[in-house]
Chains A and B, each alone.
Chain A
Amino acid sequence: MDLSSINPIFFFAGFFVAATPLIFAAVGELVVEKTGVLNLGVEGMMIMGAICGFAVAVESGSPLLGFLAAAVGGAALSLLFAFLTQVMLANQVASGLALTLFGLGFSALLGQSYVGVKPPRLPDVNFGILGDIPVFGPIVLSHDIILYLGLVLVVAVWALLKYSRVGLVLRAVGENHDAAHALGFKVKRIRTLAIMFGGACAGVGGAYISLIRVPQWTEGMTAGIGWIALALVVFASWKPLRLLLGAYLFGGLVQLQLNLQAAGVAIPVEYLAMSPYVMTIVVLVLLSRDKGAAPGSLGRIFHASS
Chain B
Amino acid sequence: MIALEKRPEPSRAFSLAAPLLAVAATMFFGGVLFALLGKDPFEAIQTIFWEPLFGQHWRYYSPQLLIKGAPLVLIAIGLSLGFKAGIWNIGAEGQYIMGALFGAGVGLAFYPTESVFIFPLMVLAGALGGWLWAMIPAVLKVKFGTNEILVSLMLVYVAEQFLASMALGLMRNPQGMGFPGSRNLQQYASAHNAELLSGTGMHWGVVAAFIAVIFGYVLLARHRLGFAIRVTGDAPRAAAFSGVNPARLVLFCLGMSGLLAGLAGVFEVAGPAGQVTIDFNVGYGFTAIIVAFLGRLHPVGILLAAALMALTYIGGDIAQSKLQLPAAAIQVFQGMLLFFLLALDLFTNYRLRLGRKEVV
Contacts and interface: CB of A to CB of B under 8 A. Distances in A.
A284 interface: yes
Interface in B1-44: 3-6, 37
Interface residues of A, number: 51
A281 B338 contact: no
B350 A89 contact: yes
A112 interface: yes
Nearest to B164: A270
Interface stretch (A19-27, A58-66, A224-232, A258-266): A224-232
Contacts of A101: 286, 289-290, 331, 334-335, 338
Nearest to B287: A101
Contact of B336 (A91, A102, A112): A102
Given A84-B342, A281-B154, A284-B146, A97 B90 contact: yes
A278 B150 CA distance: 11
Contact of B338 (A93, A98, A278): A98
A300 interface: no
Nearest to A224: B157
Interface string A232-243: 001000000000
A231 B359 CA distance: 38
Nearest to B346: A88
B120 interface: no
A102 B342 CA distance: 13
Contacts of A273: 161
A90 B144 contact: no
B70 interface: no
A109 B37 CA distance: 10
Nearest to A184: B360
A135 interface: no
Contact of A109 (B90, B326, B346, B360): B326
B150 A304 contact: no
A223 B154 CA distance: 10
A109 B146 contact: no
B165 A83 contact: no
Contact of B6 (A90, A97, A281, A305): A305
A227 B161 contact: no
B125 interface: no
B145 A98 contact: no
Contacts of A162: none
B332 interface: yes
B88 A93 contact: yes
Contacts of A106: 328, 332, 335
A102 B147 contact: no
Contacts of B293: 94
Contact of A284 (B150, B157, B326): B150
A224 B153 contact: yes
A108 B146 contact: no
Nearest to B338: A98
Contacts of B359: 304
Contacts of A181: 360
Contacts of A102: 332, 335-336, 338-339
Contacts of B326: 108-109, 112
B6 A306 contact: yes
B144 A234 contact: no
Interface string B325-350: 01111111111101100111110011
A84 B339 contact: yes
A104 interface: yes
A165 interface: no
B343 A305 contact: no
A93 B338 CA distance: 12
A190 interface: no
Contact of B145 (A97, A280, A289): A289
B207 interface: no
A183 to B, nearest CB: 10
Interface of A: 40, 80, 83-84, 88-91, 93-95, 97-98, 101-106, 108-109, 112, 181, 184, 186, 219, 223-224, 227-228, 230-231, 234, 268, 270-271, 273-274, 277-278, 280-281, 284-285, 288-289, 291, 303-306
Given A90-B346, A270-B164, A281-B155, 20 more contacts: A89-B349, A90-B343, A93-B88, A98-B335, A101-B286, A102-B332, A103-B335, A104-B335, A105-B335, A106-B328, A109-B329, A109-B331, A224-B156, A268-B165, A270-B162, A274-B161, A280-B154, A281-B151, A303-B350, A305-B4
12 contacts: A84-B343, A88-B344, A94-B338, A105-B329, A105-B335, A106-B335, A109-B37, A112-B326, A184-B360, A219-B328, A224-B156, A303-B6
Pairs of residues from A and B, 7 with the lowest C-beta to C-beta distance, nearest first: A105-B331, A102-B335, A108-B328, A270-B165, A90-B342, A105-B332, A98-B338
